[in-house]
Amino acid sequence: MATPPNMSAADFADGLSAMRSAVGADWVFDQPADLNTYRDFYSVLWGEPEEKVASAAVAPANVEEVQQVVRIANERRIPIYPISTGRNLGYGGSAPVLSGSVVLDLKRMNRVIEVNEDNCSCLVEPGVSFFDMYRHLQESGSKLMMSVPDPGWGSLVGNALDSGGGYTVQGYRGHFEAVCGIEAVMADGELFRTGMGALPGSETWQQYRMGIGPCMDGLFRQSTLGVVTKMGFWMFPRPEAWLSASVSVMRYEDLEELVRIANELEYGNIFNGMPGFSSPVLTQGNPIVMAMVPDAAEMNRMVEESGIPAWSFSPNFYGPEKVIRAQWEYVQSRFAHIPGVRFAEQSFVDLPISAEDMERIHKPRFGIPSLEIFNVGSRGYGDFNPSDGHIWFSAVIPRSGKGIIDANRVMRRECERLGLDLFMFAPAVTCWTRSFVLFAAVPVYKDPARNQHLREAVREIIDICAEHGWGEYRCPPAFMDDVMGAYSFGDHKLRRVNEAIKDALDPNGILSAGRYGVWPKHLREGRGA
Amino acid sequence: MRLLLASAALLAAGVGAVAAQDAVRTGPAAPELAEGKAVYAHWCAPCHAAEPSLPGTMSLAAKYDGSDIPAALEDRTDLSAPVIGVFVRNGVAWMPPFRPTEISDAELAQLSAYLTAPLEDRGAHTPLLADEMVQLHGGSSE
How far, in Å, CA of A320 to CA of A298, rounded? 43
Sign of CA dihedral A467, A470, A473, A477: negative
Sign of CA dihedral A482, A487, A489, A493: negative
Spans of chain A below 50 pLDDT:
none
* Domain limits, chain B: 2-136
**What number of CA atoms fall less than 13 Å from residue B21's CA on the CB side?**
7
Q: What does R_g of chain B's alpha carbons equal in angstroms?
A: 16
Asked if omega into A320 is within 30° of 0 (cis), the reply is no
Angle of the A255-267 helix axis to the A321-335 helix axis, nearest 10: 150
User: Mutating which of B42, B44, B86, B101 best tests the A interface, going by the most A Cβ atoms within 10 A?
Assistant: B101
Chain A residues whose CB is inside 8 A of the B139 CB are 354-355
Residue A419 has a CB neighbour count (10 Å cut-off) of 9
Those residues with Cβ within 8 angstroms of residue B102's Cβ, 6 or more apart along the chain or in another chain: A85, A107, B43
Answer yes or no: do A131 and B136 touch at CB < 8 A: no
Pair A124, A133: CB distance under 8 Å: yes
What percentage of chain B reaches a pLDDT higher than 70?
82
Of the pLDDT bands very low, low, confident and very high (cuts 50, 70, 90), residue B6 is very low
User: Mutating which of A27, A29, A37 best tests the B interface, going by the most B Cβ atoms within 10 A?
Assistant: A37
Answer yes or no: do A388 and B93 touch at CB < 8 A: yes
DSSP one-letter code for B40 = I
Those residues with Cβ within 8 angstroms of residue A525's Cβ, 6 or more apart along the chain or in another chain: none
Chain B residues whose CB is inside 8 A of the A372 CB are 53-55
Answer yes or no: do A37 and B99 touch at CB < 8 A: yes
pLDDT at B14 over 70: no
Of the pLDDT bands very low, low, confident and very high (cuts 50, 70, 90), residue B124 is very high
How far, in Å, CA of A328 to CA of A343, rounded? 10
Of A27, A105, A374, the CB nearest to B47: A374
Residue A383 has a CB neighbour count (10 Å cut-off) of 8
Answer yes or no: do B139 and A139 touch at CB < 8 A: no
Answer yes or no: do A59 and B101 touch at CB < 8 A: yes
**DSSP sequence for chain B:** -HHHHHHHHHHHHHHHHHHHHHS---SPPPGGGHHHHHHIIIIIHHHHSS-TTSHHHHHHHHHTTTSS--SSGGG-SS--HHHHHHHHHH-BTTB----TTTS-HHHHHHHHHHHHS-GGGS-SPPPPHHHHHHHHTTSB--
What is the interface pTM, i.e. ipTM, of the complex? 0.95
- The whole-number pLDDT of residue A378 equals 73
Answer yes or no: do A358 and B130 touch at CB < 8 A: yes
CATH classification code of B2-136: 1.10.760.10
Pair A211, A221: CB distance under 8 Å: no
pLDDT at B56 over 60: yes
DSSP one-letter code for A116 = E
DSSP one-letter code for A174 = B
Q: Do the bridges between strand A80-83 and strand A102-105 make them parallel or antiparallel, or are there none, so unpaired?
A: parallel
Answer yes or no: do A37 and B137 touch at CB < 8 A: no
Give yes or no: A474 in active site. Answer: yes
Q: Which amino acid is at A214?
A: P
Chain A residues whose CB is inside 8 A of the B98 CB are 37
Structural domain A241-279+297-351, CATH architecture: 3-Layer(aba) Sandwich (3.40)
- Of the candidates A87, A173, A474, A515, the residue annotated as catalytic is A474
Shortest Cα distance, chain B CAs vs residue A351, angstroms: 8
Closest chain B residue to the Cα of A350, Cα to Cα: B140
Residue B95 has a CB neighbour count (10 Å cut-off) of 21
Answer yes or no: do A36 and B96 touch at CB < 8 A: no
Answer yes or no: do A138 and B137 touch at CB < 8 A: yes
Closest chain A residue to the Cα of B136, Cα to Cα: A139
Chain B residues whose CB is inside 8 A of the A373 CB are 55
Chain A residues whose CB is inside 8 A of the B103 CB are none
Of A37, A354, A376, the CB nearest to B89: A37
CATH classification code of A112-237: 3.30.465.10
CATH classification code of A390-443+447-480: 3.40.462.10
Q: Which of A218, A86, A98 is nearest to A514 (CA)?
A: A98
Of A59, A86, A377, the CB nearest to B55: A377
How far, in Å, CA of A268 to CA of A271, rounded? 8
Those residues with Cβ within 8 angstroms of residue A309's Cβ, 6 or more apart along the chain or in another chain: A248, A249, A250, A279, A280, A281, A303, A342
DSSP one-letter code for A95 = -
Length of chain A in terms of residues written: 529
Chain A residues whose CB is inside 8 A of the B85 CB are none
B6: left (phi > 0), else alpha (psi -120 to 50), else beta? alpha
Backbone angles phi, psi at A314, to 5 degrees: -120, 100
- The whole-number pLDDT of residue B9 equals 37
Answer yes or no: do B96 and A89 touch at CB < 8 A: yes
- Of the candidates A91, A167, A172, A318, the residue annotated as catalytic is A91
Of A59, A371, A389, the CB nearest to B55: A371
SS3 A348: strand
pLDDT at B11 over 60: no
Shortest Cα distance, chain A CAs vs residue B128, angstroms: 9
Residues linked to residue A186 through DSSP beta bridges, in sequence order:
A226
Residues linked to residue A276 through DSSP beta bridges, in sequence order:
A314
| Overall pTM surpassing 0.90 (yes/no) | yes
Of A41, A141, A352, the CB nearest to B96: A41
Mean pLDDT rounded to a whole number for chain B: 86
Under CATH, what is the fold of the domain A1-106+488-529?
3.30.43
Q: Which of B129, B40, B47, B127 is nearest to A372 (CA)?
A: B47
Of B58, B98, B128, the CB nearest to A378: B58
* Domain limits, chain A: 1-106+488-529, 112-237, 241-279+297-351, 390-443+447-480
How many degrees, rounded to 5, is the angle at CA A445 between CA B69 and CA A512?
115
CB pairs under 8 A between A and B: 122
Answer yes or no: do B140 and A352 touch at CB < 8 A: yes
Distance from chain centroid for Cα A367:
16
How far, in Å, CA of B93 to CA of A200, rounded? 50
